[in-house]
């Protein structure tokens, strides 16, 4: 019988250059803080207001769990759910939500993807993954305007709230 301790010792032997190969990748994973999530939400809302597009914004962690969100006055009532699901999609797929639009059409490689994950996979523009040091830290989803407006709000938010990258 292999014990956890034995398995860990095998991993340590296989990775001699790492201090703790079992926990190190998990402890050093970047995360979206609440403060950063709020900055992203505020920046997306500001861009939506300046563009005349009332939007809803959701920021998730790397697992797609909601960290912060807001729905502007006059944004469509369904926009909040779509924004949250766009962020969820980006966290799970580690790509922009709109990147799945063409391949998810009938006959495409990802046909049927929108019916997975309880219907939460969204293939419209407006969602972006957020990476830190090449590792997924979270995602942002924007909905309520046109696809182009949603995408612009997400890009503007990342550029304004995360100027270092």
Show Cβ contacts of residue 104 under 8 Å, excluding neighbours closer than 6 positions.
Answer: 110, 111, 112, 113, 114, 123
Question: For residue 164, what pLDDT is reported?
Answer: 66
Total domains present in the chain: 2
Sheet holding 135-143, edge to edge: 66-71, 56-61, 135-143, 127-132
% pLDDT > 90, the chain: 62
Same-domain check for residues 39 and 117 = yes
Same-domain check for residues 21 and 55 = no
Question: Which pTM was predicted?
Answer: 0.81
Same-domain check for residues 156 and 139 = yes
Where do runs of H (alpha helix) occur along 51-165?
79-93, 147-161
pLDDT in tens, 39-71: 999 999 999 999 999 999 999 999 999 999 999
Same-domain check for residues 11 and 35 = no
Same-domain check for residues 15 and 82 = no
Give the domain range for residue 7.
1-27
Same-domain check for residues 44 and 124 = yes
């Amino acid at each position: 019988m292999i014990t956890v301790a034995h398995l860990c010792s095998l991993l340590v032997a296989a990775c001699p250059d790492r201090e703790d190969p079992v926990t190190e990748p998990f402890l050093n994973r970047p995360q979206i803080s609440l403060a950063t999530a709020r900055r992203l939400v505020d920046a997306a809302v500001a861009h939506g207001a300046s563009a005349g597009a009332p939007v809803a914004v959701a920021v998730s962690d790397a697992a797609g769990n909601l960290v912060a969100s807001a729905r502007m006055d006059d944004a469509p009532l369904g926009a909040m759910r779509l924004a949250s699901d766009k962020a969820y999609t980006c966290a799970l797929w580690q790509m922009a939500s709109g990147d799945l639009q063409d391949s998810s059409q009938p006959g495409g490689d990802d046909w049927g993807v929108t019916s997975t994950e309880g219907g939460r996979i969204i293939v419209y523009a407006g969602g972006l993954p957020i990476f830190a040091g090449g590792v997924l830290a979270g995602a942002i989803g924007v909905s309520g305007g046109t696809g182009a407006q949603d995408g612009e709000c997400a890009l503007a938010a990342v550029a304004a709230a995360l100027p270092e990258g």
